[in-house]
Amino acid sequence: PVRPPEERPDWALTGAKGREPNIITSLYLGAENLERVNLRLQAKLEEIAANEVRWKEYSTEDADLLLVAFGTVGRICQTVVRDARRAGMKVGLLRPITLWPFPSARIAELAEQVRGVLVVEMSAGQMVEDVRLAVEGRCPVRFYGRMGGVIPLPDEILPELEELDAECR
């Protein structure tokens, strides 16, 4: 990396008053230097994971079954929760807002409460493995996904939920 000269005119803007300058590089020579950089990055990642994870819940307080869906599908699943509850099923929704950091701890807590989890995505299942890792086998995790821009509809998702409900009884 190219570093500016040590002596800078007092009028020069450095953007780094009170901290080290940000130097974009992937090459850190020397084991101690590399370890120091990695420890700093690990601390930064832990802070982000602790402070930036975001999600919304919908009707999870008494849920027996949990839907997990993000983005557009998360909004669609709110309709599924409403329709399922009208049909007598106790269904809740966790809608991740951040996918990293992922709301693993909250999903793990809800997995203690529910009998099964249905992950709904507009993909081949990029989030379902994160949910399975969070659930850690506490209850069955099933997946329903549509791809290529096909939007899963509430009347497609509800039968999947009913099947999961029957399986978990």
Which of the listed residues 37, 53, 69 is the one where a domain comes to its end?
53
> In terms of domains, do 85 and 127 share one?
yes
In a domain, 96, yes or no: yes
Q: Which of 5, 38, 53 is the C-terminal boundary of a domain?
A: 53
Residues of the domain holding 39: 24-53
38 and 114 together in one domain: no
Specify the pLDDT at position 153: 98
Domain assignment present for residue 160? The answer is yes
Q: What is the pLDDT of residue 42?
A: 97
pLDDT tens-digit series, residues 102-153: 999 999 999 999 999 999 999 999 999 999 999 999 999 999 999 999 999 9
43 and 64 belong to one structural domain: no
Tell me the average pLDDT of the chain: 92
Tokens of 28: 């850190």
Q: What angle do CA 30, 23, 102 make, to 5 degrees?
A: 90
Mark whether 37 and 75 lie in a shared domain.
Answer: no
Question: Can you tell me the distance from the alpha carbon of 14 to that of 21, in angstroms, rounded to the nearest whole number?
Answer: 8
Q: pLDDT-based confidence at 1, cuts 50/70/90?
A: low
pTM: predicted TM-score of the whole model, two decimal places? 0.82
> Are 113 and 49 in a shared domain?
no
Domain count, the chain: 2
Output the DSSP codes for 49-75.
Answer: HHHS--EEEES-TT-SEEEE--HHHHH
- What residue type is assigned to position 92 of the chain? G
Instruction: Indicate if 145 and 134 belong to the same structural domain.
Output: yes
Contact predicate 158/145, CB 8 Å = no
pLDDT score at 14: 66
13 pLDDT more than 90:
no
My answer on whether 63 and 123 are in the same domain is: yes
Query: Among all chains, which residue has been given the structure tokens 């009884």?
Result: 169
- If asked whether residues 81 and 163 sit together in one domain, one would say yes
Would residue 137 count as lying in a domain?
yes
Residues 88 and 152 in one domain: yes
Q: What is the predicted pLDDT for the residue at 17?
A: 74
Does residue 19 fall inside a structural domain? no
